[in-house]
Amino acid sequence: MALHPRAASVPAGTPTKITQGSQTRGGIGESTLRPDGTLKVTGEFAYSSDMWHEDMLWGHTLRSTVAHAEIRSIDIGEALATPGVYAVLTYDDLPAEMKNYGLEIQDTPVLAHGKVRHHGEPVALVAADHPETARRAAAKIRIDYAELPLVTDEESATAPDAILVHEGRTDHHIGHVPHPNIVHRQPIVRGDADAAAARADVIVTGDYVFGMQDQAFLGPESGLAVPSEDGGVELYVATQWLHSDLRQIAPVLGLPEDKVRMTLSGVGGAFGGREDLSMQIHACLLALRTGKPVKMVYNRFESFFGHVHRHPAKLHYEHGATKDGKLTHMKCRIVLDGGAYASASPAVVGNASSLAVGPYVVEDVDIEAIALYSNNPPCGAMRGFGAVQACFAYEAQMDKLAAALDMDPVELRQLNAMEQGTLLPTGQPVDSPAPVAELLRRVKARPLPPEQQWLSADAEGSSVDVRALPGGLSNTTHGEGVVRGVGYAVGLKNVGFSEGFDDYSTARVRMEVINGEPVATVHTAMAEVGQGGVTVHAQIARTELGVNQVTIHPADTQVGSAGSTSASRQTYVTGGAVKNSCEAVREQVLEIGRRKFGTYHPAWATAELLLEGGKVVTDGGEVLAPLADVLEGEAVDVELEWRHRPTEAFDLRTGQGNGHVQYSFAAHRAVVEVDTELGLVKVIELACAQDVGKALNPLSVVGQIQGGTTQGLGVAVMEEIIVDPKTAKVRNPSFTDYLIPTILDTPTIPVDVLELADDHAPYGLRGIGEAPTLSSTPAVLAAIRNATGLELNRTPVRPEHITGT
């Protein structure tokens, strides 16, 4: 029998016990502490990269050094002969008929076959007894590449003589795309935009560019594959969706799904970058080939090639308005670069197009969004998913329109703000509160931070605190050239998987008596990636089952799918599943109570009964029995799937359809200080107001909003993967040159939380994780424009753009 992996402290597979004191119920609405919080801040938390197994080997991936080439030959002889090397695998070693994987389209080769399509594509695998041996052996593999012409943008993708990134496509999008180098196209047409344009007093157009952002999660891709005696494999891995991985892994290994047993190990952030597979299949292949456990850990450099990024985008927008500021029409065309493989591109197109108008009422729209196949790095899911790029552009347009109308930009937005009942361009009504105007009002009503906060007067004269200035400790200004700017933005994000996807989750809840105490165990396959889902599940179980002690079972594939930890959906969907299973458990517990004690008190038969404080009580508060007595000698165990309301696909021609489950709204006000001479920016405040429906854990809600806000700030002023247009190679795959905000770049983020219930959702909650990432970026850009008077149609803004150098 295979040993369980061992790790520094809490190993993968150890249940997390969350006990609250008797005073604190720890149910929903309380800011209960997260079980992983202390471990993470003290460095004790065991991440997937910390796993260790006796006798394990280390896997290494050899990746392409060019972006587009034919592979003429691969010579593994010298690598295989290296002492300490146990296996070298290439495409020819793949054991099953299925040799590709993919979230929606299985277009991604497990190992390159005859061709590489992007810089950093996996070509060969090495297993050795030491990671450095594996790395050096991989360097001895000789690959003869014959370089091919590159597809790098729309022009080169759709030129008459364009080389096809994927020949012979048979996927379900090929029938409706205008060119085989376009993954998916989604038009959305409503009303008559051309006719409406004739009514406009003012028309503004703009071309916008959104750079390639990386998720930059801190825990690199890693996992451990352990071969098992039945010919299967146990895989411990950091991922966002165990069952989606499983569905892609098993066919390539030639194994039935029940022989690939997956357990979630410690995840160090995800933000969409773990929706696609990375080392999962590779480690399993090496483990099955060598018969030994194989660990793989990417370093930071490799991590930049090991996951998809946010789609860079080019967006053309046209808005019209009457002279009193009412929007007449909107036309736009959004070109997303999906890179070499499809990943989540089709769904990103669906979001970008269906949310292209933003949270505004526009009757007449003409929208088109496409995603390209190219030889750039593959792009897919990242926090905000298509809605981010659109929001950057439509919010810039709203400011431009306000300027053209000589109106206040917030008033213009409020005048056109969507409300409950508004129809989206897809024809779908917004059937829950949509407090867009109110969110804007709240951020605008906040007092502005004081001017010149870097100056303080003391007895010896005035002094300068450079930390409050652009450039910070780099000491570039003491106030010279510094101009303040203020900008606003608001965004609209869908929650959950859209377009008819069967977006269910599964929860298994068990209730029993342990040491005289009623205990609930919650078992789901939900990936805890830092969002706090495990905290919330325990809160839900306490609220529904009236127990103090809740055990969260490790996430694995021994229970049904929980769906992805993405699309702001887990508290809604897996939270909903836990609630639903708890309700079923409660009914069974009450049934047992009636059977055991029903004859002692008439209320067992007549009253509405609740589980509270470890007891069965009537809705009038009368105690009927302790749960410990009811469950004595019994255990209740329920596993149920739970679904939110179904959605529909968008019509491929008109984009009409009830495609979305729920919406999430956030607004930001950014206050920046810009050193206009050096082009450096200090964001000093990013106030946010967001409607969360119901804050299940208020502290976690604020944390999510602040995190999303900061990630949006990052792509406003620094974060970008730079791809050389001549070679399609990544130029900055490290944290030396891919910069993410430090605490000195992170402003004060006051958060105003609204709780307007969505009656369709459990507890009225809304998914919250992504919305703040949308409006943060355009608010910062608007503030920089306000400070500089520059147009700045591209994000991130670099000093060169502000200084014109």
Partner 1 sequence: MDFLRPASWEEALAAKAEHPTAVPIAGGTDVMVEINFDHRRPEYLMDLNRIGELSEWQVGPDAVRLGASVPYSAVMEHLRAELPGLALASHTVASPQIRNRGGVGGNLGTASPAGDAHPALLAAGAEVEAASVRGTRMIPIDDFYTGVKRNALAPDELIRAVHIKKADGPQQYSKVGTRNAMVIAVCAFGLALHPETRTVRTGIGSAAPTPVRAREAEEFLNAALEEGGFWESGKIITPSVAKQFAQLAAGACNPIDDVRGTAAYRRHAVGIMARRTLGWTWEQYRGAGRTLEGAA
Summarize as ranges the residues that interact with partner 1 (CB under 8 A).
135, 299, 301, 456, 460-467, 470-478, 480-481, 677-680, 682, 717-718, 722, 731-732, 734, 736-737, 739, 741-745, 798-800, 803, 805
- C-alpha angle 758/760/766, rounded to 5°? 45
- Closest contact distance (angstroms) between CB of 783 and partner 1 is 16
> Would you say 205 or 463 has its CB closer to partner 1?
463
Q: Six-digit token pair at 745?
A: 């770049």
- Closest contact distance (angstroms) between CB of 730 and partner 1 is 10
> Would you say 464 or 699 has its CB closer to partner 1?
464
Contacts of 571 (CB under 8 A, 6+ apart): 531, 533, 536, 696, 765, 767, 768
> Would you say 401 or 797 has its CB closer to partner 1?
797
> Would you say 464 or 652 has its CB closer to partner 1?
464
> Would you say 148 or 468 has its CB closer to partner 1?
468
> Would you say 130 or 731 has its CB closer to partner 1?
731
Distance of CA 482 to the CA centre of its chain: 35
Q: Six-digit token pair at 563?
A: 């769906």
> Would you say 601 or 798 has its CB closer to partner 1?
798
- Closest contact distance (angstroms) between CB of 139 and partner 1 is 8
- Closest contact distance (angstroms) between CB of 8 and partner 1 is 20
Strand ranges of the sheet holding 182-190, from the earlier edge strand across to the other edge: 182-190, 364-372, 327-337, 313-321, 202-210, 794-795
Question: What distances in angstroms separate CA 688 from CA 375, 386, 448, 761, 774, one per listed residue?
Answer: 38, 21, 13, 23, 11
What b-and-e string marks burial along 395-415, b requiring 16 or more CB atoms within 10 Å of the CB?
bbbbbbbbeebebebbebbbb
> Would you say 91 or 301 has its CB closer to partner 1?
301
CA distance 208 to 319: 14
Instruction: State residue 111 phi and psi, 5-degree precision.
Output: -135, 145
Q: Which amino acid is at 643?
A: R
- Closest contact distance (angstroms) between CB of 787 and partner 1 is 16
CA distance 474 to 293: 48
Instruction: State residue 425 phi and psi, 5-degree precision.
Output: -60, -20
Element (H, E) at 564: none
- Closest contact distance (angstroms) between CB of 476 and partner 1 is 5
- Closest contact distance (angstroms) between CB of 307 and partner 1 is 19
- Closest contact distance (angstroms) between CB of 134 and partner 1 is 13
CA distance 419 to 359: 8
> Would you say 262 or 717 has its CB closer to partner 1?
717
- Closest contact distance (angstroms) between CB of 477 and partner 1 is 7
Of 210, 149, 182, which is closest to residue 372 (Cα–Cα)? 182
DSSP 432: S
> Would you say 471 or 518 has its CB closer to partner 1?
471
- Closest contact distance (angstroms) between CB of 741 and partner 1 is 7
> Would you say 49 or 432 has its CB closer to partner 1?
49
C-alpha torsion sign, points 661, 667, 672, 676 = positive
- Closest contact distance (angstroms) between CB of 456 and partner 1 is 7
CA distance 85 to 128: 4
> Would you say 374 or 477 has its CB closer to partner 1?
477
DSSP 554: P
Q: Six-digit token pair at 294?
A: 């194989």
CA distance 459 to 461: 6
CA distance 593 to 718: 61
> Would you say 575 or 707 has its CB closer to partner 1?
707
Q: Which amino acid is at 440?
A: L
Q: Six-digit token pair at 239?
A: 């991922």
Between the CA atoms of 408, 413, 416 and 420, what dihedral angle is there, to the nearest 10 degrees? -140
Question: What distances in angstroms separate CA 29 from CA 349, 444, 528, 538, 715, one per listed residue?
Answer: 35, 27, 20, 12, 32
Residue 300: exposed, middle, or buried by beta-carbon count in 10 A (0-12, 13-18, 19+)?
Answer: middle
- Closest contact distance (angstroms) between CB of 65 and partner 1 is 13
> Would you say 284 or 297 has its CB closer to partner 1?
297
* Residues comprising the chain, all counted: 805
- Closest contact distance (angstroms) between CB of 210 and partner 1 is 18
- C-alpha angle 265/271/276, rounded to 5°? 70
Question: What distances in angstroms separate CA 161 from CA 106, 168, 173, 277, 371, one per listed residue?
Answer: 26, 16, 21, 33, 19
- Closest contact distance (angstroms) between CB of 291 and partner 1 is 30
Q: Six-digit token pair at 167?
A: 């020949």
- Closest contact distance (angstroms) between CB of 499 and partner 1 is 38
> Would you say 77 or 479 has its CB closer to partner 1?
479
